[in-house]
Structure 1
Amino acid sequence: MKIIHTSDWHLGQFFYARSRAAEHQAFFQWLKALVIEQSVDAIIVAGDIFDTATPASYARELLNQFIVSLQETGCQLYLLAGNHDSVATLNESRALVACLNTHIITGPRSDDEPHASSLFPIKDAEGKVGALLCAIPYLRPRDIQLSQAGLSGREKQQDLLQAITRYYHENFLAAREYQQLHQCGHLPIIATGHLTALGVTKSDSVRDIYIGTLEAFPASAFPPADYIALGHIHRAQNVSGATPIRYSGSPIPLSFDELGSPKSITMLSLTEEAPLTWETHEIPCFQPMRVIKGSLKELAEQLSALERPINGQRIWLDIEIHHEDYLSDLQQRVEKLTEDLAVEILLLRRKRIATSSTLTSLQKETLGELTPEEVFRRRLAQETLDDDQHHLMLQRFRQVTAQIDDEQE
């Protein structure tokens, strides 16, 4: 049996006002071809199917077309909700796509299915169970935790950590019970998750998510499953620990700082004779993107060295200018350098010099060049705070912004 682990599709994303529809369509074509070539039995998508809680109609159409096209392969599809996804939106078509070998998991339970299980026996092409899936999506505090009055911040954090840990282990024990009931102790157990685990490298496109006051989940708290398929972090990477815990990463770059590492899916191989193994399959680049940094002279040299894409595409550019003086005509100068090239400038910014001065000293820098957290950090720099107070204020800011984003979804 072969199973693909992928995540963070973010269908419907607009990248500096540019649509990613063509890239996602190309990815789906590539993924289906890989399914056929490798005789893949199932695909697990560990969260963030869509980029927003209200995806555009074309994004939903892309997903529906892929689900339909996958039917000829016999491959099963498991879609788990992430922090960007709307539970209501995904549940709209859950019953319908269930008839098309597609399972949508949006939460640990629902009002109409209070005893719904998160355990899915994954069957191969011959109908034989080859693995057990503990399908755990993005967990919100209200999903797994009862509110308790009188707890300190530290106690709330520990209580939530215990609730998440307990939920994972309950699902793992359910899988163990299935093994005993069906006398199939050799079946590998795969668990999923959409969260931040300790010891991972993020990218600019990853929005910090806080499950209540919990910033990250320790790898040691996961159950001893044979493989844990995670989503939310866009860079493909392993999490340290005895159990294979892995982020598959997003299929396309969702920010310019993700260009340094290749995009891939993770392929799991399972046999009765050997333990679970995995390997990566690199995903082709469907949209050329580059980051260019330096002075105007260095910029001109780097631009002249760019190769024109053979398929008629234009290279998306992130340009960072290093210049001592403030140039009021910077935009015009750069446009002059690129007017005959097959490029499109998506982001043009000046290099920011880190100083201890206040926001007013950076008056030549526009808000468009700063993230909300960077603005908040600059404001904090003006206050007389010790390290603990600074960290507490920053953590509180992240929690509030994450709560606002969740409410908007």
Structure 2
Amino acid sequence: MKLLHTSDWHVGKTLKGRSRLDEQRAVLAEIVALAIDHEVDAVLIAGDVYENVAPTAETQQLVVRTLLQLARAGIDVVAIAGNHDHGPTFEAYRPLMGQVGIQLIGNVRPADKGGVCRLTARSTGEQAVVATLPFLSQRYAVRAAQVLTNTPAENVGAYDQHVRDVLANLTAPFGNQSVNLVMAHLTCIGGTMGGGEREAQSIMEYSVPAGIFPLDAHYVALGHLHRRQRLPAAAPVHYSGAPLAIDFGEQDNTNVVCLVEVAPDRPARVTDLPVSSGRRLRTITGTVDQLLADPDSYGDDFLRLRVTQPAYAGLREQVLEQLPNALEIRIDPQFSVNPHRPPRHDRLVRTPAQLFSDYCADAGVEDPRLNRLFDELADELAVSGRG
């Protein structure tokens, strides 16, 4: 059977206040097209469908329409909630979506109460068993009393053991004649973060070893870490990564979905399918003249600029006039710190003009026009008697 593994859509995520819904719409359309073109039997979405637990109506509409497009194409869908999603909302939609072949799992469930999904491949008639593990909060996994009294190492061990116990229950229905799949949203020790994850829910108490997954799992589809990677383990453990870089920390990631071809009697074969929709994120370093030398070369890319010269009045406006997609403009630290700042006791006897000059130097601003304007304002205040 053929499967498409994807995760971490983060639909509704903005970047520096800029909506990216059009990009997200294009990315999801591309994923649907890939699923149809490769005639997959099912799409596995391993969590973080949304950016936050209260997505807008427009955001929900985009996701629902995407899932329905897959269902109308005869493709089964299994989606679990990640740490950014609202599990109870997934559960509320579960009965309705189940009517059209979309299986949503928002909360951790035992195998006999919906924690295991069963699929029949339309292409081969093969049966698949999918053990589903939505994001499991550490505070849910480890009792509050233990959190308060245990050492961090003890809490890590408690979380690890709880996940093992849950997986043992979920994978008990695995059989020799079925395609055995695990889908989970969690952090595996040794995994490389993509750059945009919530670290507080990705490290320490939230980590488990990749060896936690059973040997008879034909494929383990993970979400949570945004970088595409396979982890060393007895079972094939894969993060598909995010199909769209969600911030500049992910600008160098490779955005893909995973095409998985698997049968009960042979190992999974995994092929990365590139996802090219969405704007590129780039960090550019240079002086203002260097940054503005060839504006057309940046295309529609979103930019993070590091300016290697002192700031001056109007710098930001000058840059944005030619580079409207510059979402962040910062002066390189070596040009924003004044190493020759006078001691505090010296500053107490300096004139207002000297103090203002010191302030500009401390802020990395080097613009004689500002000093002249300050002098003019100071003179006006002195003449008016308000100085």
- In the alignment, structure 1 residue 78 sits paired with structure 2 residue 96: no
Partner of 1:270, secondary structure, is strand
Whether the 8 Å contact between 2:71 and 2:102 is mirrored in structure 1 is no
Structure 1 CA distance for aligned equivalents of residues 260 and 114 of structure 2:
23
Match for 1:351 among 332, 342, 357?
332
User: Does 1:296 pair with 2:282?
Assistant: no
- Counterpart position of 2:22: 22
Counterpart in the other structure of 1:167: 166
Equivalence for 1:406: none
Displacement, 1:273? Answer: 5.4
User: Distance between the aligned counterparts of 2:111 and 2:222, measured in 1?
Assistant: 25
AA of the residue aligned to 2:318: R
Deviates more, 1:228-237 or 1:87-96: 87-96
- The structural deviation recorded for 1:189 is 1.6
**Aligned-pair CA distance for 1:52:** 0.6
**Cross-structure match for 1:201:** 192
The answer to whether residue 7 in structure 2 is matched with residue 7 in structure 1 is yes
Shift of 1:9: 0.7
1:121 counterpart (105, 118, 123):
118
Deviation of 1:220 after TM superposition, in Å, equals 2.4
Query: Structure 2 CA distance, aligned partners of 1:211 and 1:262?
Result: 20
Distance 2:277 2:152 in 1: 45
Matched, 1:141 2:138: yes
- 1:255: Cα distance to partner? 0.8
Q: How does 1:49-198 map to 2 (within 5 A)?
A: 49-109=49-109, 116-125=113-122, 128-141=125-138, 143-148=140-145, 150-172=149-171, 174-176=172-174, 179=175, 185-198=176-189
**What SS does structure 2 have at the residue aligned with 1:155?**
helix
Query: Is the contact made by 1:132 and 1:187 (CA closer than 8 Å) also made in structure 2?
Result: yes
By how many angstroms is 1:147 displaced? Answer: 4.7
Cα offset for 1:156?
2.8
1:333 aligns with 2:301: no
Q: Which structure 2 residue ranges, 5 or more long, are not aligned?
A: 340-358, 365-387
Aligned counterpart, 1:270 = 262
Q: What amino acid is aligned across from residue 325 of structure 2 in structure 1?
A: E
Q: CA deviation at 1:215?
A: 4.3
Partner residue, 2:304: 318
Root-mean-square deviation (Å):
2.8
Residues 86 and 242 of structure 1: is their aligned pair in 2 closer, same or farther, counting only changes over 3 Å?
same
Q: If you compute each CA radius of gyration, which structure gives the higher value, 1 or 2?
A: 2
Q: How many residues align?
A: 339
- Asked whether the equivalents of residues 108 and 143 of structure 1 are also in contact (C-alpha less than 8 Å), the reply is no
Distance 1:284 1:137 in 2: 28
Answer whether contact 1:318 1:347 (CA < 8 A) is retained: yes
**CA separation of 1:36/1:204 partners in 2, compared to 1, >3 Å: closer, same or farther?**
closer
Contact 1:132 1:190 in 2 (8 A): yes
**TM-score, normalisation: structure 1:** 0.75
The secondary structure found in structure 2 opposite 1:100 is: coil
The gaps in structure 1 that reach 5 residues or longer are 180-184, 309-313, 366-409
Q: How far apart, CA to CA, are the structure 2 residues paired with 1:346 and 1:209?
A: 26
Is the alpha carbon distance of 1:302 and 1:319 closer, same or farther for their aligned partners in structure 2, counting shifts above 3 Å?
Answer: farther
Give the TM-score of the pair, scaled to structure 2: 0.79
Task: Tell whether the 8 Å contact from 1:203 to 1:255 is kept in structure 2 after alignment.
Answer: no
- Structure 1: distance between partners of 2:330 and 2:214: 45
Deviation at 1:126, TM superposition (A): 6.0
CA distance in 2, matches of 1:364, 1:80: 48
Question: What's the CA shift string for 1:142-180, capped at 9, x where partnerless?
Answer: 5444455554443233222211122223322x133xx2x
Q: Secondary structure at the match of 1:199?
A: coil
The answer on whether the counterparts of 2:186 and 2:206 sit within 8 Å (CA) in structure 1 is no
The C-alpha deviation readout for 1:78-109, integer Å capped at 9, x for no partner, is 11000001122222321111111111111213
Give SS of 1:290's match: strand
Q: What letter matches 1:232 in structure 2? A: H
Match of 2:248 in 1: 256
Q: Are the aligned partners of 1:47 and 1:79 in contact in 2 as well (CA < 8 Å)?
A: yes
Partner of 1:238: 230
Verify the 8 A CA contact 1:141 1:211 in the aligned structure 2.
no
Partner of 1:393: none
Give the match's secondary structure for 1:206. Answer: coil
Deviates more, 1:147-156 or 1:57-66: 147-156
Cα displacement (A) at 1:51 = 0.4
Partners of 2:239 and 2:120 in 1: CA distance: 24
Q: Which residue matches 1:377?
A: none
Residue aligning to 1:48: 48
Alignment deviations for residues 255-309 of structure 1 (CA, whole Å, 9 cap, x no partner):
1232223210001102355322111100013324432112223323463543x4x
Q: CA deviation at 1:210?
A: 3.4
Is the CA contact (8 Å cut-off) linking 2:11 and 2:51 kept in structure 1? yes
Query: Which amino acid is the alignment partner of residue 94 of structure 2?
Result: R
Query: Cα gap change, 1:147/1:300 in structure 2, threshold over 3 Å: closer, same or farther?
Result: closer
